[in-house]
Amino acid sequence: MVEGKVHGDTPPRDWRHKVFAAGFSAIAATGADRWLAPIAQGAGVILTLHHVRPEQPRAFSPNRFLEVTPEFLEATIATTRRAGFEFIAMEDVCERLNCPSRGKPFAVMTFDDGYRDNLEHAWPILRRKGVPWTVYVVPDFLNGTGRLWWIELERAIAQREQIALRLGREQLHLPTGTIAHKQAAYRLAERRWREASPEDQRVGLASLAEMSDHAPQELTRSLCADWDEIAELARDPLVTIGAHTMSHPVLSRLRDEDALAEMRASRIAIEDRLHRPVTHLAYPHGDKVAVGEREHRLASAAGFATAVTTRPAHLQPWHANAPHALPRISMNGLHQNTSALRAILSGAPFLASGIRRG
């Protein structure tokens, strides 16, 4: 049992965000985004977003980095175009990588999970600006049966002075009376969750349900689009619908056959409902802990032409030979400013950090 082992210090992820902010400021102050771009900039970038909605100030908001405002989305489009990028659809990425000398660098807009606010706030902007975009959806979320456990966890911590979360045989008893304790408790519980087995996570889902005043699926139905809404969205020629697995698991924690089933079943479910091919996949979570070479092979076996990670880097010509391991760059809600965006588009942060390859 883990009890009370959280501290009031700034959580590690908060420190990383501060380091990123300082780096973006330094790049802007020195003009490095301009003079490093010729050597740091790749053939293109894939940008990742989740929620697009008006700002909702909250003292405790550990998932704030997943939210951007409609105004920042508009600024992202304008700044990206001013930086010389051309927006293209996901299905055109491999062709452009195979012809790296062809015109401008390119940018691809992608949105994960299928949140309803994408339709309410992002869609009108993208349609008006003529920007192609891809939405990676989770059939269990569209059905209203999936669980947004990271949001359930945030709300449970926000509402309590302490939490008792079960993950299999592990019991997490954590103080959550102050904002600092809430932040630290969330980081610890989130990390333990991502490390847990699928069986232990199922115990965790039951534990979260016990802490909720409502049926957990009500949260999913309120935040995620349903099949009818996604079908309407799919009729827009600028929109590509991709798969994000059936239930949004940490794929690396699954057996080969289960991970393959998550990918393949999501493709089939979406194709059956929308009556069109689904050839693009986004790995849930998508970092080096959640996704590796095994998942890349399975994505190919599941019938996908491309699959995207969350490893940040520019696309390079060699990514044409690794279409199931494409990097993406998050439009982080904690860095909603054009200085950070110009730095990202220049490639300078990735050159400096040694992760240019993705």
At 206, list the tokens.
């039951």
Distance CA 309, CA 46 (A): 10
CA of 41: how far to CAs of 48, 71, 335, 343, in Å?
Answer: 18, 26, 20, 10
pLDDT at 178: 97
CB-based contact 331:68 (threshold 8 Å) = yes
- Over residues 210-267, the pLDDT tens digits come to 998 888 899 999 999 999 999 999 999 999 999 999 999 999 999 999 999 999 999 9
Q: Where are the beta strands (DSSP E) in 249-314?
A: 280-282, 306-308
* Residue 272 near residue 231, CB atoms below 8 Å: no
Can you list the residues of the chain whose pLDDT is less than 50? 1-12, 15, 19, 354-357
Return the domain boundaries, the chain: 31-144+239-353
Residue bearing tokens 């994408």: 118
Contact 251, 259 (CB under 8 A): yes
| Euclidean distance between CA atoms 81 and 183, whole angstroms | 37
245 neighbors 262 (Cβ within 8 angstroms): yes
Say if residue 46 is exposed, middle or buried (CB neighbours under 10 Å; 0-12, 13-18, 19+). buried
- The predicted model scores a pTM of 0.91
Beta-strand ranges (E) seen in 79-229 are 86-87, 106-113, 133-137, 162-167, 170-175
Q: What's the CATH architecture for 31-144+239-353?
A: Alpha-Beta Barrel (3.20)
- With CA atoms as reference, report the closest residue to 302 among 357, 237, 240, 251: 251
Q: What confidence score (pLDDT) does residue 14 get?
A: 55
Please give the pLDDT value at position 68: 95
